[in-house]
A and B are shown apart, each in its own frame.
Chain A
Amino acid sequence: MILSKLSTRLLNASASLVFNSQNKSVVREHVRWIQFTYYTDKNNDVTGKTEKMNMYQAINNGLRIAMAKDPDAVIFGEDVAFGGVFRCTLDLQKEFGKDRVFNTPLCEQGIAGFGIGLATIGVTAIAEIQFADYIFPAFDQLVNEAAKLRYRSGGEFDCGKLTIRAPCGAVGHGGLYHSQSPEAYFAHTPGLKIVMPRGAKQAKGLLLSCIEEPDPCIMFEPKILYRTAIDEVPTAHYKIEIGKAEVVRQGDAVTLVGWGTQVHVLLEVADLVQEELGASCEVIDLVSILPWDAELVCKSATKTGRVVIAHEAPLTNGFGAEIVSTVQEQCFLHLEAPIQRVTGWDSPFPHVFEPFYLPDKWRCFAAVRNILNY
């Protein structure tokens, strides 16, 4: 966990004054490769008062609302009591008490199992796995137990009130075990619901949905967005429906599908394609990995005839493969070119090679250009 602390510190670094002063460019180049530009959510689909928040603040705000709404709800995990290594649970223990916001021993299978037990008796259990890279010790509890409890008991028991939050994705310097995107492993598990927000507003809405959803949910939170994603976030309670994708930009030449941080990369690619090639891209944020919105993706693919899917996780058996297969089955007669996947390579997530590993805007741009010329 020493590395965990390290990355937190480096994340803090971006917000600190040190980097905003004279040696900014020098330090950034060596510490962190910024591979995307954040596109603020300008949609006004939620009414009411808003406040400027970054993603960790939006999550903190969502957790506070959930805890106030349900007096039985509990939050637990490693280091959540003092506010969490990413500050998502800041001040919650002070506000709701030590029996509702507490540290557990350092043991992921224990955290997941403990959460299932709470949810089995009807308690809202909000568990944190410190990094998605460390969710694998809990794989058995999540895949064999949480996902199957309702089914195997004929509906007599369930753990629908379980929500797991886990920071995921590239962060510039996370190396093998602070960068992974394990959504595809879990997407192969009937019984789980999996979501990934692309920003502050989505994070809060999806979190509240996960907490209130009557099925066990995992929310993977792209950790690079905790501080960089700043939106006008509604301060009241609101939800974003699980299982629904969102068209974040309309277009007619190519459909670009991504989730989490990658949506911002794709938005930049859309700008680039418009500028350089004069073609318009439709950008879709998949939002939910399981169940996923095949209908919306296929509708867009039918319209554009060309599809590029991009994700940070490795190519082989990544969730992109599932989308490709479905789109090719349902939109066969409308496809003008083979569907392209731009993803992380089939290697572990490397440290110094991160700029060459990620499906950045240039790799995505090249893929779009190629299928436009197909």
Chain B
Amino acid sequence: MIEKVFLRCGKHMYSRNVLQQVQQFYNSPTTNIKIGTSINAGDPSFLGIQTSFSSELKFINKECYDSLPLFRILDSSKHVRLPEDFKLDEQTFIRMYRKMITLNIMDKILYESQRQGRISFYMTNTGEEYREAGVLLWRGHSIRDFMNQCYGNHKDTSKGRQMPVHYGSKKLNFVTISSPLTTQLPQAVGTAYAFKRSRKGVCVVCYFGEGAASEGDAHAAFNFAATLECPIVFVCRNNGYAISTPSLEQFKGDGIAARGPAYGIYTIRVDGNDILAMYYATRAARELCIMEGKPVLIEAMSYRIGHHSTSDDSTAYRSINEIDQWKHHTPIIRYRDYLESVGLWCEQREQELNKCVKNSVLLAFAKAEKELKPCWKELFTDIYHTMPKHIRKQMCSMEDHVTEFHKYYPLHLFKQT
């Protein structure tokens, strides 16, 4: 009966379209098969799969392949060889180091300030000084801006609405961080698609942890990026832990990298504690994905030296020995060794830098602490582009209430207008 009632335009259109697509597939230069020629003989002709017949009954697992190798530049020997095609100047080498140190010092001070109850929450970057806050720092986000966000004062661009470390900067093309894990991945793919259509020579970079890669949104993003051919570089920080969950309980395959080729994505595994390997891999990935208009996946292998956050004591689920072991292989130590070996750094410069950064962080910190919070009415703005009536009504009702009960609210900490 269904065939009977579906006979008009719908069915026609549908089958014509499918037919057209199927024909395109079979006529494409990569397949020489003509429709109907080989259902059981020669090569298989399934839509979207190019394979060959096999008479061996064999299941495949990760043992059938070699694990993806780890790209590194800073090995333990003193003979470091940099890729010849891109030369880095001395200034860039040193700037990279300075930013890592700055992040490290900022982390220490903000971590302590949370411990003293001066900010509500913090997450350090220790051991992964290439990660997201580092990206902002590298792009020129000032220490003041970081502090303002953590304090949620009136100078914070997000108006004190989010928890600390949820940074964002329109100016620096850094989309505001949100807490739900992995939601940014398919979003980044959408933005990359827009770039592909509008601006040549631009791509999106999207960071996430190995735990976040277990979310459904990661699957969505990899598959969308590949099928819709979007210029995006996915950077996965595989640091061994998602809060207390070791990656052994997160996946059973060859890490995150092994998933890339399964989606049809160019993939590389990089030593995340090697800042130069990360630099060159990211740079090459960017060129590849812009040139081909396709996604690239980088799995950066690392170790989370700090606690997950200030709400976490990681010694509850891992040994101090384990942490100590990694303390000798941090990105900072390895990079400093390299800089010293080529004569770009020395103990004296180290001490000067430490002192100088510490002073500026403390200064910004003290300043941010003294600033007032935004006017409490900002609670009601930016929910929509313009404030709807029902929200305005709620704001007015709160205003009446605050006027009457003002002594029970911390109004002195907030701006008046």
Binding site for B on A (CB under 8 A): 6, 8-10, 12-13, 15-16, 18-19, 72, 74, 81-83, 87, 90, 99, 102, 104-105, 107, 109-110, 112-123, 125, 137, 140-141, 144-145, 148-158, 160, 190-191, 193, 213-215, 243, 291, 294-295
Interchain CB contact under 8 A, A105 and B227: yes
Specify which of A110, A137, A148, A291 lies most central, judged by the most chain B CB atoms within 10 Å of its CB.
Answer: A110
- Chain B hits for A12, CB < 8 A: 5-6, 8, 10
CA A102 to CA B196, docked complex, whole Å: 15
Closest residue on chain A to residue B173 by CB atoms = A121
Shortest CB-to-CB span from A227 to chain B, Å, is 11
Neighbouring B residues of A291 by C-beta, 8 Å: 388-390
B10: nearest residue on chain A (CB-CB)?
A: A12
Interchain CB contact under 8 A, B220 and A140: no
**A contact residues around B17 at 8 Å (CB):** 81-83
Q: Which of B166, B175, B224 contacts A105 (CB 8 A)?
A: B224
Closest to B2 in A: A9
The answer to whether A10 touches B228 (Cβ under 8 A) is no
Select A156's contact among B168, B186, B195, B223, beta carbons within 8 Å: B168
- Contact B384–A141 (Cβ < 8 Å): no
A-B contact pairs, 12 of them (CB 8 A): A81-B17, A82-B17, A113-B187, A114-B187, A117-B191, A118-B190, A120-B190, A140-B217, A148-B178, A150-B385, A151-B161, A153-B168
Q: Which of A8, A112, A114, A294 contacts B10 (CB 8 A)?
A: A8
Question: Inside 8 A of B14's CB, which chain A residues have their CB?
Answer: 82
For residue B216, CB closer than 8 A to chain A, the reply is: yes
Residue B192 CB within 8 A of the other chain:
yes
* Bitwise interface map of B from 103 to 117 toward A, beta carbon under 8 Å scored 1, else 0: 000000000000000
Bound form: Cα–Cα A19–B178 in Å = 53
- Known contacts A18-B4, A148-B178, A154-B157; A190 and B383 CB within 8 A of each other: yes
Query: Which interface residue of B5, B6, B216 has the most chain A CB atoms within 10 A?
Result: B5
Q: List residues of chain A with CB within 8 A of the CB of B190.
A: 113-120, 125
Task: Give CA–CA (A198, B231) in the complex, Å.
Answer: 41
Summarize B's interface: helix, strand, loop or mixed: helix
Residues of A within 8 A of B5 (CB): 9-10, 12-13, 16, 18-19
Given contacts A109-B216, A110-B186, A152-B166, contact A118 B193 (CB under 8 A): yes
* Contacts of B216-261 to chain A: CB distance below 8 A: 216-217, 219-221, 223-224, 227-228
CA distance A125 to B189 in the complex (A): 13
Q: Does B13 contact A (CB under 8 A)?
A: yes
- The answer to whether B158 and A113 have CB atoms under 8 Å apart is no
Interface residues in B339-385 by Cβ distance below 8 A to A read: 381-385
B185 interfacial by beta-carbon distance below 8 Å: yes
The listed residue with most A CB atoms (<10 A of its CB), out of B10, B195, B219, is: B10
Identity of the chain A residue whose Cβ is nearest the Cβ of B227 in the assembled complex: A105
Pick the residue among B183, B191, B390 that contacts A141 (CB under 8 A): B183
Complex Cα distance A83/B2, Å?
A: 20
Closest to B384 in A: A215
The reply to whether A104 and B224 contact each other, CB–CB distance below 8 Å, is yes
Select B186's contact among A82, A114, A157, A160, beta carbons within 8 Å.
A114
Give the CA-CA distance A114 to B224 in the complex, in Å: 8
Q: How far is the CA of A154 from the CA of B175 in the complex (A)?
A: 12
In the assembled complex, B81 has its CB within 8 A of some CB on chain A: no
| Contact between B390 and A294, CB atoms less than 8 A apart | yes
* Bound CA span A113–B13, Å: 30
A190 to B390, CA, bound (A): 11
Q: A105-B223, A157-B176 given as contacts; is B185 within 8 A of A113 (CB)?
A: yes
B57 within 8 A of A: no
**Contact assessment for B158 and A154 in the assembled complex, using a CB-CB cutoff below 8 Å:** yes
Q: Quick check: A144 and B390 within 8 Å, CB to CB?
A: no
- How far is A102 from B224 in the complex, measured between Cα atoms in Å? 12
For A160, list chain B residues within 8 Å (CB).
385
Please tell me if the beta carbons of A120 and B175 are within 8 angstroms of each other in the complex.
Answer: yes
A152/B194 contact (C-beta < 8 A), A6-B2, A110-B220, A140-B180 known: no
B40 at the interface (CB under 8 A from A): no
CA of A18 to CA of B6, assembled, Å: 10
Per-position binary interface string of chain B over residues 256-272, scored 1 when its CB falls under 8 Å from any chain A CB and 0 otherwise: 00000000000000000
Please, which residues of chain B bring their CB within 8 A of the CB of A10?
5
Give the shortest distance, in Å, between A209 (CB) and chain B (any CB): 13
Q: Can you list, as one digit per residue, whether each of B380-398 has a CB less than 8 Å from chain A (1) or not (0)?
A: 0111110011110000000
Of the listed residues A6, A82, A141, A190, the one surrounded by the most CB atoms of chain B closer than 10 A to its CB is A82
Given known pairs A16-B5, A16-B7, the reply for A141 and B186 (CB within 8 Å) is: yes
Q: Tell me if B162 counts as interface (CB < 8 A to partner A).
A: yes
**Structural contact, B382 and A154, CB atoms closer than 8 A:** yes
B157, B176, B186, B197 — most chain A CB neighbours (10 Å): B186
If A113-B217, A114-B189, A157-B176 are given as contacts, then 16 extra A-B residue pairs at C-beta distance below 8 Å, sorted by A number, are A18-B4, A74-B193, A99-B197, A107-B224, A109-B217, A114-B224, A117-B194, A123-B198, A137-B216, A140-B180, A141-B187, A145-B183, A153-B175, A190-B391, A215-B385, A243-B389
Q: How far is the CA of A102 from the CA of B193 in the complex (A)?
A: 12
* Residues of the B chain whose Cβ atoms lie less than 8 Å from the Cβ of A117: 186-194
CA–CA, A145 to B186, complex, Å?
A: 11
Question: Is the CB of B159 closer than 8 A to any CB of chain A?
Answer: yes
Q: Which residue of A lies closest to B190 (CB)?
A: A117
Q: What residues of B have a CB within 8 angstroms of the CB of A9 in the complex?
A: 2, 5-6, 10
Contact partners of B158 in chain A: CB under 8 A: 152-154, 156
Partner of A157, one of B7, B170, B188, B189: B170
Q: Which residues of A contact B383 (CB under 8 A)?
A: 150-151, 190-191
Residues of A with C-beta under 8 A to B188: 117
* A120 close to B10 (CB less than 8 A): no
Whether the Cβ atoms of A156 and B176 lie closer than 8 Å is: yes
Pair B382/A151 contact, Cβ less than 8 Å: yes
Chain B residues whose C-beta falls within 8 Å of the C-beta of A90 in the assembled complex: 13
- By a CB distance below 8 angstroms, the chain B residues around A151 are 161, 382-383
B210 within 8 A of A: no
Taking CB atoms, residues of chain A closer than 8 Å to B120 are none
Measured in the bound complex, the distance between the Cα atoms of B187 and A158 in whole Å is 12
Look across to chain A and name the residue whose beta carbon is closest to the beta carbon of B171: A156
Within the complex, the shortest CB–CB distance from B185 to chain A, in Å, comes to: 7
Most interface-central of A107, A116, A151 (chain B CB within 10 A) = A151
Query: In whole angstroms, how far apart are the Cα atoms of A153 and B178 in the complex?
Result: 9
Partner of A113, one of B166, B175, B176, B220: B220
B128 within 8 A of A: no
> Which residues of the other chain, A, contact B192 by a CB distance below 8 angstroms?
117
**Separation of A9 and B191 alpha carbons in the complex (Å):** 36
- CB proximity of B178 to chain A, nearest CB, Å: 6
Question: A157 and B168: CB pair below 8 A?
Answer: yes
Contact flag A72-B224 (CB < 8 Å), given A114-B190, A150-B382, A157-B168? no
Closest chain B residue, CB of each to CB of A83: B13
Whose C-beta in chain B lies nearest to the C-beta of A122?
B194
Pick the residue among A105, A110, A295 that contacts B217 (CB under 8 A): A110
| B191 proximity list for chain A (CB < 8 A) | 117-118, 120-121
Q: Determine how close the nearest CB of chain A comes to the CB of B295; give it in whole angstroms.
A: 13
Least CB separation from A137: chain B residue: B216
Q: From residue A138, how far is it (CB to closest CB) to chain B in Å?
A: 10
User: Does B274 lie at the interface of the complex (its beta carbon under 8 Å from any beta carbon of A)?
Assistant: no
